[in-house]
């Protein structure tokens, strides 16, 4: 109990960190996980207790900034700024669901813009109406990127 328990716990922590690395995380998590593996048992405990969350937030911020660099629409930009000004949980929520919903908002605006163009075909008009009334975020995204060019 004096030494075996600590050694076994450290082995468990190393396995947990290796499992995290097997999931192909971002650069921040990978960097910090490798530091923990190369460090002491206390480093591994610290990584699992707080370091992983900090490194994941760093990776989330990088992912969000990459989206922003792509010059998204107003809705996505607004939500990105809220996420960047918010907490780590806000950034994780943006990547999990907020981006999808903000992109759908921007796509709805894009569909409305198509409807406002003079001289669009009846088929394109009908499809725009259908997508606006019945479309999920995925249907809206597909219409903006592919579907509008098929009419």
> Domain segments of the chain: what residues?
1-70
Predicted pLDDT at 140? 95
Does residue 131 contact residue 140 with C-beta atoms inside 8 Å?
Answer: yes
**How far, in whole angstroms, is CA 114 from its chain's centroid?**
28
Q: Annotate 5-28 with three-state secondary structure.
A: HHHHHHHHHHHHHHHHHHCCCCHH
Query: pLDDT tens for residues 18-33?
Result: 999 999 999 999 999 9
| Span 63-116, pLDDT tens digits | 999 999 999 999 999 999 999 999 999 999 999 999 999 999 999 999 999 999
- Share of residues in the chain with pLDDT > 70 (%): 99
pTM: 0.82
Return the pLDDT at 1. 62
């Amino acid at each position: 109990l004096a030494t075996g328990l600590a050694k076994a716990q450290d082995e468990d922590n190393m396995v947990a960190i290796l499992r995290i690395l097997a999931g192909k995380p971002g650069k921040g998590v990978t960097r910090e996980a490798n530091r923990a593996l190369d460090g002491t048992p206390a480093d591994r405990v610290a990584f699992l207790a707080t370091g992983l969350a900090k490194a994941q937030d760093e990776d989330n911020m990088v992912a969000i900034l990459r989206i922003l660099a792509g010059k998204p629409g107003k809705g996505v930009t607004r939500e990105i700024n809220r996420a960047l000004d918010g907490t780590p949980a806000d950034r994780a929520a943006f990547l999990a669901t907020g981006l999808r919903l903000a992109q759908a908002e921007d796509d709805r605006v894009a569909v409305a813009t198509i409807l406002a163009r003079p001289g669009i075909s009846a088929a394109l008009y009908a499809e725009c109406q259908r997508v606006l009334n019945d479309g999920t975020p995925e249907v809206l995204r597909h219409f903006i990127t592919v579907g509008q060019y098929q009419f």
